[in-house]
Amino acid sequence: MQTIERFSKTPKAWEALARPGQIGRRAHTLLLMANGRRSERELAALLGDDVSELAHGLQQQGFLQPVELATFSDDGDGTACL
């Protein structure tokens, strides 16, 4: 089993979205797209740039929270990756 980290908004992020100038354009865009279903890799593809440092910084500041999704790999028992 593998864990993929995804990010979702916190209440603090929802408040910041109402004031885009408070956190900067790039952070604002990342917060808009962080919905708990998109992985860090998907967010990077949507933004066209590596977002790891930004996402983890926003997490440390209380704007994002991690959401873990467990996936199952094909290990020969008939179960496939999700």
Residue 76 within any structural domain of the chain: no
Q: Provide the phi-psi class of 71: left if phi over 0, else alpha when psi is between -120 and 50, else beta.
A: beta
- In-domain check, residue 79: no
CA angle 65, 41, 61 (to 5 degrees): 30
Q: What are phi and psi of 77, to 5 degrees?
A: -100, 10
Residue 18 resides in a domain: yes
What's the predicted TM-score (pTM) here?
Answer: 0.76
Residue at 22 is within a domain? yes
Q: Total domain count for the chain?
A: 1
Q: Would 20 be classed as within a structural domain?
A: yes
Residue 81 lies in a domain: no
pLDDT digits (tens), the chain, 82 positions: 566 789 999 999 999 999 878 899 999 999 999 999 998 899 999 999 999 999 999 999 999 999 876 556 655 555 545 4
* Assigned domain for 50 exists: yes
Give the domain range for residue 59. 2-71
